[in-house]
């Protein structure tokens, strides 16, 4: 039986949510599986991945083949790197403590990159909000200035009309004389 590590789709139409599973390669995509290894939600930014690291590593060591997307997910979480390091330990290239040190260093760097991305997304959202508010206030000021001009023009027209009305009876009286 060929075992694959792949995604099983769940969630609503247009809002996919996936379970990462170890399944027989002949089983349907959302059908029977051997073991659930985690979840993957691509709808968040960055994507939310909840993975049982030890189970995924165990299946890889047993020979399970990940699909392309699952390979990317496992690589992102460091499972493939850990498998690579364990292969080096088995061949005698370095000790297990060296492998752990390399893996921990890689994980810290990866966590820093992820944190930097989330901080950048948050700061970009804040700056976009500030820009939007500035544009709104500018439009509001322009509208207020236009209304003030209209009001001043209307008052001037009213004064002219009063002045014209005051002159009209005076002309009428002069014509009557």
Q: Is the pLDDT of residue 177 over 80?
A: no
CATH of the domain at 48: 3.30.1320.10
Q: Based on the fold, state whether residues 100 and 73 are members of the same structural domain.
A: no
* Strand-strand pairing, 48-51 and 65-66: unpaired
Q: Is the pLDDT of residue 171 over 80?
A: no
Report pLDDT digits (tens) over 5-58: 999 999 999 999 999 999 998 988 888 899 999 999 999 888 899 999 999 999
**Cβ-based neighbour number of residue 18 at 10 Å:** 22
Report pLDDT digits (tens) over 6-21: 999 999 999 999 999 9
8-state DSSP, 103: H
Q: Based on the fold, state whether residues 34 and 7 are members of the same structural domain.
A: yes
Q: How confident is the model at residue 108 (pLDDT cuts 50, 70, 90)?
A: very high
Look at residue 167 and tell me if it is in a domain: no
Look at residue 125 and tell me if it is in a domain: yes
Look at residue 134 and tell me if it is in a domain: yes
What element of type H or E holds 146? Answer: helix 96-176
pTM of the full predicted structure?
Answer: 0.70
Look at residue 114 and tell me if it is in a domain: yes
Instruction: Measure the CA–CA gap between 50 and 69, rounded to whole angstroms.
Output: 15
Q: Based on the fold, state whether residues 63 and 121 are members of the same structural domain.
A: no
Q: Based on the fold, state whether residues 22 and 60 are members of the same structural domain.
A: yes
Report pLDDT digits (tens) over 111-142: 999 899 889 988 998 999 999 999 999 999 99
Q: Based on the fold, state whether residues 73 and 110 are members of the same structural domain.
A: no
Q: Based on the fold, state whether residues 29 and 55 are members of the same structural domain.
A: yes
Q: Read off the pLDDT of each residue in 62-81 and give the average, rounded to a whole number.
A: 94
Q: Based on the fold, state whether residues 65 and 125 are members of the same structural domain.
A: no
Mean pLDDT over the full length of the chain: 89
List b or e across 34-66, with b for residues whose CB sees 16 or more CB atoms inside 10 angstroms.
bbebbbbebeeeeeebebeeebbbebbeeebeb
Look at residue 170 and tell me if it is in a domain: no
Domain containing residue 117: 94-159
Structurally, how many domains does the chain consist of?
2
Q: Token digits for 137?
A: 């206030």
């Amino acid at each position: 039986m060929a075992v694959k590590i792949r995604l099983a789709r769940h969630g609503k139409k247009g809002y996919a949510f996936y379970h990462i599973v170890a399944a027989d390669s002949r089983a349907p995509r959302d059908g029977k599986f051997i073991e659930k290894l985690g979840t993957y939600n691509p709808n968040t930014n960055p994507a939310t991945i909840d993975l049982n690291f030890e189970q995924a590593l165990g299946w890889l060591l047993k020979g399970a083949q990940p699909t392309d997307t699952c390979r990317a997910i496992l690589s992102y979480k460091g499972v493939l790197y850990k498998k690579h390091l364990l292969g080096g330990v088995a061949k005698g290239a370095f000790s297990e403590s060296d492998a752990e040190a390399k893996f921990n260093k890689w994980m810290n760097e990866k966590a820093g990159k992820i944190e930097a991305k989330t901080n950048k997304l948050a700061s970009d959202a804040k700056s976009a909000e500030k820009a939007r508010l500035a544009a709104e206030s500018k439009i509001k000021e322009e509208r207020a200035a236009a209304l003030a001009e209209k009001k001043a023009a209307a008052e001037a027209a009213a004064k002219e009309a009063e002045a014209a009305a005051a002159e009209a009876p005076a002309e009428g009286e002069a014509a009557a004389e």
